[in-house]
Structure 1
Amino acid sequence: MNYYISRNYKGLNSAGNKAKSDIEGIVERTCGFRNAGLPLSTYTNTVVHFAMNLAGVLKAPFCLRKGDVLLLQYPLKKYYAFVCNMAHLRGAKVVTLIHDLGSFRRKALTVEQEIKRLNHSDFVIAHNDKMKKWLLDNGCKAQLSSLGIFDYVSKSPLPKNEIFSSDKDGKKEYVVVYAGALAQRKNAFLYEWGDYISTYKVALYGSNFDVDNVKGKEHFIYNGFVKSDDFISSVKGHFGLVWDGASMESCTGNFGEYLKLNNPHKTSFYIRSGLPVIIWRQAALADFVESHGIGVCIDSLKDLDKLHERISMEDYQRMKDNVLRESKLLQEGHYASTAVKEVLDKMDKQ
């Protein structure tokens, strides 16, 4: 029998919680997994949150028998090694699907500590081949595979197909969408960007945008916070931007280094919304975007002012068609189910 452990998620609006709850539903629906923990819940009280998760973790090992498989979504914080050890004592195998590496984003662990934790697992599903290589190079002894990209499950219908329009001089006009954290301390590049825009508009979705301190505010369309399902059904734009940090020139600092390894859930969100993606060329997902023909890779945000010269109407429509195909796959849970089934198949052959 195959199992996962559901959690209390304190709500499902954040990207991390949305991704984990999606995985639970996908593996149950497509791979026959059962929940060994408590039912999924969304209590926001910190004490209740802790108690529910602890109870689920303590319950789960008693469901396991020899030959079973337990899928864990990482990080599981202080419970991870305990659950792996208990599963092995019961004769089960552990498959870990990585969502976040604490040694990068939060610096909560050293690389050595993180690898030591992950080595409790029998199989590890990394985000992509670059993360897989990083794990291998840093001493991960578990068998490794790649997810490809995170799925994004939503029943929302897609908005009307957007195409490039032309201004009175016949020049193509387009809108770049950016959804996420808009505060200056998180994404300072937003506040410098306006000085480098002349051929397009930027549609912003999110909270805490300081309109008074942005340069070239006439180039921005601020939509405020919009719930994810509403965004998918109503977003107006031509591209979704994946970019982090302070610099216009590249994705710098810890966020930039992490983009070289991880799959931002935002990328899946844009694709599920029918938006071709603009992504930093050094990002790990740039390979996926290029190989699937679903967007454009850039070195600098300054490149965007000439994007209309690089992309014809036909090029854009081709990207759009490819994105709509991928959007359907993300909705179906294609990538998670494929990755998990491949691991189960390898286990059966061992």
Structure 2
Amino acid sequence: MKKYYLSKNYVNLSNAGNKAKTDIEFILLNRGFTNIGLRQTCIKNELSGFILTLMGVLKACISISEGSWLVLQYPLKKYFLFICKFARLRGGKVITIIHDLGSFRKGRLTVSQEIKRLNNANCLIVHNKKMESWLKEHGSTSTISCLEIFDYLSEKSPKKIIDADPSFNIIYAGALSYKKNAFLYKLEEYVRNFKFTLYGSGFDKELLRGNINYNYKGFVPSDELIATADGHFGLVWDGDSISCCSGIFGEYLKYNNPHKTSLYIRCHLPIIIWSEAALADFVKDNNIGICIDSLEQINDILSGLSKEEYDAMRSNVVEISRKLSQGYYVSKALGEVFCKVGEGELIKV
């Protein structure tokens, strides 16, 4: 039985979404899958990248054979339907790993259009149980397996925690502009008995009133962040409110797995996450952090956290980090989906 995946041109490898996709390609390669397209490239010229990806897609369509399995990573723009239909014509089957649902964030597809598109895949690997339920409620007919959390590959090792400073340091990495995450600026009056360190682009210090507990580090590549991050928690939050994750991005948190969560874990940082986020269940079940209803609670929660409680979370994070570094969760999800379709011998975790 032949197992394939399709590589493509990635314009920007520092992008979180592309990092997740290239990690999965590497994991698939090491689990016995073969790249059916052209080799992975990183060409920033849009026309050249388009041509290379198109050539890879055409090569894949010609090469796929009866009884073979092809893993696609979604979204794949205009090529997804074409490849799925061609694979079916040639007797192949498609497993689609979902990274992003366009009907949620960008609105370029309606929900019904996206579900109809995804139903062209035989199997789906989705972020979590809440995304699975949402897809089924809206008409998904594919066999589904859940990822739980994105793996995160890096050869870098985190720093050892230093306990000389009695106050906690919370790290936030991501888009820092007021337009994208206004909560960062509204949180200032509540950052009292902890430090708040920000990594990313677009931060406007002029909008703050000078809280000395804020520390802006600028954009740092993920490998460097893993090696240098000096903190106690990683914050998973989005939107313009500190009382909940509001707006489009807040609603999306109820169903998706933010890649930054995996980055924090690879930094050996326990997680602070909105209690209604889909990943809150994973954080709670594995005791790797704290689930909160509002950011206004942070001071009181941290004040009541014992060293023993924190050390237990940190220890669990280190174990999950080890799994993320080895591609455990992608491998497990693939194994589960193959078992569901009666071909469990095709991959071992």
Question: Which amino acid in the other structure matches residue 327 of structure 2?
Answer: G
State which of 206, 209, 218 in structure 1 corresponds to 2:200.
206
Change beyond 3 A, Cα 1:322–1:164: farther
Change beyond 3 A, Cα 1:114–1:82: same
1:161 CA drift (Å): 2.2
Contact map agreement 1:191 1:215 (CA 8 A) in 2: no
- TM-score, with structure 2 as normaliser: 0.96
Contact map agreement 2:125 2:333 (CA 8 A) in 1: yes
Change beyond 3 A, Cα 1:198–1:76: same
Matched, 1:314 2:308: yes
Match of 1:280 in 2: 274
DSSP-derived class of the 1:70 partner? strand
State which of 214, 231, 240 in structure 1 corresponds to 2:225.
231
| In 2, Cα distance between equivalents of 1:298 and 1:212 | 28
Q: What 5-or-longer segments of structure 1 have no aligned partner?
A: 167-172
Q: What 5-or-longer segments of structure 2 have no aligned partner?
A: 345-349
Match of 1:133 in 2: 133
Contact map agreement 1:192 1:215 (CA 8 A) in 2: no
Match of 2:150 in 1: 150
| In 1, Cα distance between equivalents of 2:66 and 2:107 | 36
1:217 CA drift (Å): 3.0
| In 1, Cα distance between equivalents of 2:164 and 2:69 | 49
Matched, 1:26 2:27: yes
Identical residues among aligned pairs (%): 50
| In 2, Cα distance between equivalents of 1:125 and 1:216 | 45
1:216 CA drift (Å): 4.4
Contact map agreement 1:193 1:215 (CA 8 A) in 2: no
| In 1, Cα distance between equivalents of 2:88 and 2:163 | 54
Q: Deviations over 1:22-57 (max 9, x none)?
A: 00100110x210000110000000101111111111
Match of 1:248 in 2: 242
1:212 CA drift (Å): 1.2
Contact map agreement 2:148 2:329 (CA 8 A) in 1: yes
DSSP-derived class of the 2:18 partner? helix
State which of 321, 326, 330 in structure 1 corresponds to 2:324.
330
1:349 CA drift (Å): 4.7
Match of 2:84 in 1: 84
Q: Deviations over 1:48-84 (max 9, x none)?
A: 1111111111110222111100001001111111100
| In 2, Cα distance between equivalents of 1:75 and 1:208 | 26
Contact map agreement 2:268 2:317 (CA 8 A) in 1: yes
DSSP-derived class of the 1:116 partner? helix
DSSP-derived class of the 2:176 partner? coil
Matched, 1:261 2:255: yes
Match of 1:8 in 2: 9
Contact map agreement 1:150 1:268 (CA 8 A) in 2: yes
Contact map agreement 1:279 1:298 (CA 8 A) in 2: yes
- Taking the TM superposition and a 5 Å limit, the aligned residue runs for 1:54-69 are 54-69=54-69
1:309 CA drift (Å): 2.9
1:158 CA drift (Å): 1.1
DSSP-derived class of the 2:212 partner? helix
| In 1, Cα distance between equivalents of 2:209 and 2:268 | 29
Question: Which amino acid in the other structure matches residue 98 of structure 1?
Answer: I
Matched, 1:52 2:49: no
Contact map agreement 2:143 2:337 (CA 8 A) in 1: no
Alignment root-mean-square deviation, CA: 1.2
Contact map agreement 1:5 1:72 (CA 8 A) in 2: yes
- TM-score, with structure 1 as normaliser: 0.96
| In 1, Cα distance between equivalents of 2:38 and 2:117 | 24
Match of 2:18 in 1: 17
| In 2, Cα distance between equivalents of 1:96 and 1:27 | 13
Question: Which amino acid in the other structure matches residue 179 of structure 1?
Answer: A
DSSP-derived class of the 1:337 partner? helix
Match of 1:293 in 2: 287
1:214 CA drift (Å): 1.7
Q: Deviations over 1:248-268 (max 9, x none)?
A: 100001101100000000100
Between stretches 155-164 and 176-185, larger displacement belongs to 155-164
Contact map agreement 2:171 2:197 (CA 8 A) in 1: yes
Match of 1:347 in 2: 341
| In 1, Cα distance between equivalents of 2:164 and 2:301 | 12
| In 2, Cα distance between equivalents of 1:126 and 1:61 | 24
1:151 CA drift (Å): 0.2
Runs of 4+ in 1 over 3 A off after TM superposition: 162-165
DSSP-derived class of the 1:278 partner? strand
Q: Deviations over 1:93-144 (max 9, x none)?
A: 1101100000011111100010000000100111000000000000001111
Q: Deviations over 1:134-157 (max 9, x none)?
A: 000000011111111000000001
Match of 2:72 in 1: 72
| In 1, Cα distance between equivalents of 2:133 and 2:302 | 36
Match of 2:347 in 1: none
